[in-house]
Chain A
Amino acid sequence: MPEDLHVTLSPRLSKLHDLSAMVEEFGDEHGLPVAKVFVINLALDELITNAVTHGSFENASDPKIEVRLRVDHDILILTIEDNGSMFDPTIDTEPDTESSLERREVGGLGLHLVKSFADRVSYEFVGGKNRLTLEHDLKPASG
């Protein structure tokens, strides 16, 4: 049985390349479709970028992001915990995806993409940490 992925990293964008390689290895071991591996790496890029660039860790003495990835009963489950300031990404507003090229706003898309691809998203703030869980079904829903 392939192992779960469990990584603790400091919040820096330069960590994304190594992390993506680990996710790809996890995908190979679990026989995941390329599209699912892509979606997990997209979520990690967007969420870690969001945390780093919005200064969530300014008040943390030992800033850490903890990533867990596992497959349970045909569900791919990504959990991201961080000890930055409280931020619930599930209540973010919808970005502009419809206006013309001239009027289109630059930015605000990342969280929208993460939530659009996930089948279920949940957030909690526990023990001084943000914990976001994204679930992706590996088999299409029947019916």
Chain B
Amino acid sequence: MNIEVAEERDNGVLVLLPVGRLDSANARTFESIIMDHIGNGEQHLIVDFSRLAFISSSGMRVLLIAAKRLNASKGKLVLCEMQDHIHEVFHISGFDQIIPILDSRQSATAVF
């Protein structure tokens, strides 16, 4: 299944904005999109959740893999603009301890 992922540049940093649902049916597609960017040399990456209404553990798994890969090459993944119920999932999973989650795009960009 497809997932629409908008792409922007913010102060030189690549920002990915997945749209709608990131679930087990389309997580593989999102994985190939994000890993292609990392494979092409993107070291700093922001995933902006403002257009995302739903994520399951399949989608979170992709973010963990991307964060690990970037971390290994001294790069960084930052997340931002999460709705409260999605933030809760990242908290229960303990992902908020290992991947930076910022409230706004502005503060996410300021990390780099």
Contacts and interface: CB of A to CB of B under 8 A. Distances in A.
Interface of A: 13-14, 16-17, 20, 34-35, 38-39, 41-42, 45-46, 48-49, 53, 96-98, 100-102, 104, 106-107, 109-110, 112-113, 116-117
Interface residues on B, range: 20 to 34
A81 B56 CA distance: 21
A50 to B, nearest CB: 9
B56 A17 contact: no
A17 B65 CA distance: 24
Contacts, number: 79
Interface stretch (B6-14, B37-45, B92-100): B92-100
Interface string B58-69: 101100110110
Given A101-B67, A102-B71, A49 B56 contact: yes
A106 B85 contact: no
Nearest to A12: B25
A109 B85 contact: no
Interface string B32-58: 000000000000000000000110111
Contacts of B53: 38
Given A38-B85, A45-B58, A16 B25 contact: yes
